[in-house]
Amino acid sequence: MLFNVPFLSLLALASAVPLADFSRALNNLDARAISATQTDLDNFRFFVQYASAAYCNSENAPGAPVVCAASACKTVEANRAVTVASVEGPKSGLGALVAVDHVRRAIVLTVRGSANVRNWLTNLQFTFSSCSDLVANCKVHNGFGDAWAEIRPTVLDAVRASRAANPTYSVITTGHSLGGAVATIAAAYLRRVENIPVDIYSFGSPRVGNDHFANFVTAQAGAEFRLTHGADPVSRLPPILFGYRHTSPEYWLNGGSSSTVDHALNNLRVCEGIANIGCNGGTLGLDIDAHGYYLADVSACNPKNSPTARQADISDAELEQRLNAWVHQDVEWVEEHTA
């Protein structure tokens, strides 16, 4: 999914917050009421396979099996998951798949991530669109909202048909990268419009909407399993200072290298709050590999979805400086508003 909008120009902000204040903010963490379990980690390992499958199954015909090259969804294949519907947005290029997994007794909507994460980071815009049909004063990122609107009719019809045939099955939405953002919006509407307690499994999702959206989704029936990894830059955007918030809680994989996929439970920690900076939100740098590896090489079944292809108009150093400046400002904002 590509959003070809010029990058929002900003003042040079690299020294906005002293590093001493930044470190203090990271170390001043609230007590956490939620802890990660082995079941959580196992479920992340399973549903990331569906997030992977979106990269190579979003043009499936109804009834087609869900299969992946590069062994990207071996358990899903073993479960003989079957396609109910697939769809691709004509403007956004967003691809999505609704499948039924009779072994897991689940109906799964999986949304494909970006074909070029680095260019998305370079061209990022921060404009909102309304989602007041969910809750008053609700706003989501304009690009994510438009992408959901394109696939919404097909997704709703497919989920309704699947539930009619399998009324006891759970409903899951999942996606990697920008797909995780749209999967979060999809779950909000499935919960609100269809009264389904959808569970969300997102991997490296950016912030989706404002505080009204984030609080509304977090409070809905159904669980939010939002996984971040190391210093993944996508999960730190759009910035808190521009009014964006995450759903809560955050599950943060931290340990090993950026491409580590064999994580143990002690590498998974939880941070709560829609504007927390205690996990991924307080990290620095331009670690694209951390975005590509979430317990697996997420886009492995479709090598065309390279996260590292680059535009010539901005260097890695310049982009990293911009990303770091936003983190510093986010830390400053959180400190000022939680003192």
Active-site annotation, residues: 177, 232, 291
- Rounded CA gap, 237 and 105, in Å? 34
Tell me if residue 64 falls in helix, strand or coil: coil
- Rounded CA gap, 92 and 285, in Å? 28
What lies within 8 Å, CB to CB, of 254 at 6+ separation is 229, 230, 267, 269, 279
What lies within 8 Å, CB to CB, of 303 at 6+ separation is none
Confirm if 306 and 116 have CB atoms less than 8 A apart. yes
The total of other beta-carbon atoms located within 10 Å of residue 131's CB is: 24
Terminal-residue alpha carbon distance, the chain: 39
Task: Give the single-character DSSP code of 26.
Answer: H
- Rounded CA gap, 109 and 171, in Å? 8
The two structure tokens encoding residue 200: 């969300």
Confirm if 87 and 155 have CB atoms less than 8 A apart. yes
- Rounded CA gap, 290 and 282, in Å? 15
Task: Give the single-character DSSP code of 296.
Answer: S
Confirm if 185 and 211 have CB atoms less than 8 A apart. no
**CA atoms in the 13 A half-sphere facing the CB of 224:** 32
